[in-house]
A = this chain, B = another copy of it.
């Protein structure tokens, strides 16, 4: 049953210096060294610096596994990725992980990740991870408006940091992009180009960001002195296909919009798909703006104007916030916001000169393509 070979000790363990090595070199006991390094008050300052110096010189790094069995802390932060049907967080993942692991390793921490198929699983997986000391707490990506994970972790007294602002975000530490500002900004830009009828295509309202972006859109309209027309807002869309249908609906009216603002790039793709299918020229016949700065935005033609968030920075900030929080659970909440950067693209332009002509053009096109579903 057991592998009878174990020459690995040769090449694997030789370099590791243990606390016993350190204590012998210093002529102290393990206990004293441990207390010196962990900031106990009953160690003289001279001894402490002596220990710390020697630890650095000898390259001593405590084995987090060994610490964990006594302290319960394994110095690893957890991330449970939910693979819900129409998740849009994929492209960001690599950059986000880069930021996270970077911040983590700077403090000697590591990142443990798991995946889950649904929200219910997530809670169980998180419980197991902290129970088995595989994670000391969690980064919560893609926060929902009413997020069960928050209540759960609060109840379990497990540290966490949110990426996004939940409904009750006053009581949580979070990091987020100010996407509502981006939406307002987009409306202002479109209005500046002369657009009067700017539609909004939003995603499922259980996502926290949906609320913020919708509100940003509305605020943008008000600032621009434009009316809020409910007929120009379609929400709860999950995938490009649904966004395509919504686009058709928006353009089939008597007063179709000349620009469509999308909550995500993924939804903007649906707008493109429909526009392409009926031969509408994006950027001239119809302006489109997305949000996320995803790779897909650059793959579209003309390039989709969008807002990209620096996900590496987000990951790094979340990692730092988390570790700080674990180190002091009583510290005040940390809440940080950044702005997404606008990425111009050929998808925006001035509205067609004569809106009526445009409407006729569209209705004719639509009549030709009634079969589209």
Residues of A within 8 A of B (CB): 1-3, 5, 7-8, 11-13, 15-16, 38-41, 61, 63-66, 68-69, 72, 74, 76, 81, 83, 87, 89-91, 93-95, 97-98, 101-102, 105, 110-115, 125, 129-134, 155-158, 240, 269, 272-273, 276, 294-302, 328-330
Contacts and interface: CB of A to CB of B under 8 A. Distances in A.
Given A114-B111, A132-B63, A330 B83 contact: no
A259 B102 CA distance: 43
A110 B69 CA distance: 17
Given A97-B115, A115-B101, A330 B90 contact: no
Nearest to A114: B101
Give the copy number: 2
Given A72-B13, A157-B8, A115 B93 contact: no
B12 A72 contact: yes
B65 A133 contact: yes
A329 B5 contact: yes
Given A113-B113, A115-B101, A64 B301 contact: no
Given A2-B39, A110-B112, A272 B301 contact: yes
Contacts of A93: 90, 93-94, 97
A76 B101 CA distance: 16
A93 B115 CA distance: 12
Contact of A328 (B3, B38, B61): B3
A302 B301 CA distance: 10
Contacts of A101: 113-115
Nearest to A6: B72
18 contacts: A8-B157, A12-B130, A16-B131, A63-B69, A63-B132, A63-B133, A64-B132, A65-B68, A65-B74, A83-B95, A91-B295, A93-B94, A101-B113, A110-B129, A111-B114, A112-B112, A113-B113, A297-B299
